[in-house]
Amino acid sequence: MTLHARHSLLALLILTTPLAACAQQAETPAPVAAPAVAQSAAPQLVTGLPDFTQLVEQVGPGVVNVEATVGSRRSAQAGEEADIPEIFRRMLPPGFQMPGPGQQGPQRRGTSMGSGFIISADGYVLTNHHVVDGADEVKVTLPDRRELVAKVVGSDQQYDVALLKVEAKGLPTVRIGNSATLKPGQWVVAIGSPLGLDHSVTAGIVSAVGRTNPYTAEQRYVPFVQTDVAINQGNSGGPLLNTSGEVVGINSQIFSVSGGYMGISFAIPIDLAMAAVEQLKTTGRVSRGQLGVQVGALTADVVKGFNLPDNRGALISEVLPGSPAAKAGLDPGDVIRSVNGRAINDSSDLPPIIGAMAPGSKVTLSLLRDGKIKDITVILVELDEGSVATDSLPTPSDRQAPPAGRNTLGIQSQNLDAGSRKQLGVESGGVLITRVEGAAAREAGLVPGMVVLQVGRAKVDSPAALDRELAATKAGDTVMLLVRQRGVTRFLAVTVEKS
């Protein structure tokens, strides 16, 4: 066979082999198909997820956009604030953020954008104080795009609440709920204008209730509702809603190091806001009750030092002279356990409860004093924000300091002269720390310049009295010292060192 013939035969075999395979398969009887196995539907792993569409349709018409035009003075102030990093940050709009060096300023530097909601058909609108603070003109934009000029009826910085009034009738309103019934884990919804995007809807859950603002004393009377609802600049003043479509809070602040949403948002409880509304309508301002005490937390060391049964309550560290607390006989070292039967579990629980009461209210305090419960009736007065004075501590004088202290804590002290007492606001008693030799005392935070007012519940008025009160202590004991520093009076727990 020639080479050409062999190649032709090989090509023929290559081309016909697949055909033969096909033919063989065609001749082989087809196998009987196995019966199809019916697959059961996959189980529903997530059920009961909420659908907020009806809620938004019903409540949305009562939510408005609030635009406040401010003067150049306000813009300048806002620009200065923008240069300061804020850990607990107000939701000011981008218009308030002043440019950095070499940058051009935003066009809307004099405009604050926020949200609000209509609480009455005749035109009352609720929003945040910081949205309209210092505004020359306020406009409210309704969902139907009508723009109405609003009057600021009243505003309160402490509660961060502002009441507006527009001239209109038959407006759609929101329903007011009860923030006292909120519990962590409940679904909540926010409607507002984040970054100018009107009627944006976000949802999440209540993370905690009764939160305090640890970064400022301005809002110590507000028990915030913490949520993980996405809140950004422009949501300020908008409603926080429960699943019934009722307003349970006013979105106010976010916890952020960048200025954007980080999963921690705070709302003013609606109960607190509505109580303020009645006063704003009547007087244009909000007045709060004052007891006249400074309180601190009951740490494990404090519980041990005062031999308390548990850590529930608010420890009184200072009683303001002439205050209702002073007139009723309250003393530093007393622990407030309840107000009108309402339990005080933490020191931060007390200010919101007292502040929400009207001046002139009669309240019953349950105190723990020397291991015994005692009920005392106090009549509140109106809160004076400037009632707690600050001071600059005097410099200890080496010439007046006595020889090294012989007390168990290694504290050297000297008497306070008349000028120092006036400067510190100390009417009587107290000694000025000039030196601290004991390591335990230093670790507890004692430093020269502090004033020691009490050892436990016993007042001290001289270095000798201080040494005498400490003489009975022994190694391992925890001693409670009432000290004053930079206008703040508090208890410090110091454990006596082993020799």
Mean pLDDT of the chain: 80
Cβ contacts of residue 379 below 8 Å, gap of 6+?
A: 324, 360, 361, 362, 363
pLDDT at 46: 62
373-396 average pLDDT score:
70
CA distance 150 to 314: 42
Catalytic residues: 130, 160, 236
Instruction: Please check the confidence at residue 171 and state whether its pLDDT lies above 80.
Output: yes
CATH fold for the domain made of 175-283? Thrombin, subunit H (2.40.10)
Where is average pLDDT lowest: 8-22, 49-63, 186-200, 334-348?
8-22
SS3 content of the chain, % helix, strand, coil (to 5): 25, 30, 45
The alpha carbon torsion through 187, 190, 191, 196 (nearest 10 deg) reads -150
pLDDT at 312: 95
Q: Max CA-CA distance within the chain?
A: 134
Domains 54-166 and 411-495 share a fold: no
CATH class of the structural domain 54-166 = mainly beta
Where is average pLDDT lowest: 310-324, 380-394, 455-469?
380-394
Q: How far is CA 269 from CA 178, 211, 226, 232, in A?
A: 9, 11, 10, 18
The alpha carbon torsion through 81, 82, 86, 88 (nearest 10 deg) reads 80
Band of the pLDDT at 28, cuts 50, 70, 90? very low
460 SS3 class: coil
Work out the burial of residue 192: count CB atoms within 10 Å of its CB; fewer than 13 is exposed, 13-18 middle, 19 or more buried.
buried
DSSP strand pairing (175-176 vs 246-255): parallel
pLDDT at 10: 39
pLDDT at 292: 93
Query: What does the domain layout of the chain look like in residue ranges?
Result: 54-166, 175-283, 289-382, 411-495
14 SS3 class: helix
CA distance 321 to 206: 40
The stretches of 34-137 forming alpha helices (DSSP H) are 53-59, 72-82, 129-132
CATH superfamily of 289-382: PDZ domain (2.30.42.10)
pTM of the complete model: 0.71
Give domain 411-495's CATH number out of 2.60.40.10, 3.40.50.620, 3.90.550.10, 2.30.42.10.
2.30.42.10
DSSP per-residue letters across 205-228: EEEEEEE--TT-STTTT--EEEE-
Radius of gyration of the chain, Cα coordinates, nearest whole angstrom: 34
30-45 average pLDDT score:
63
Band of the pLDDT at 29, cuts 50, 70, 90? low
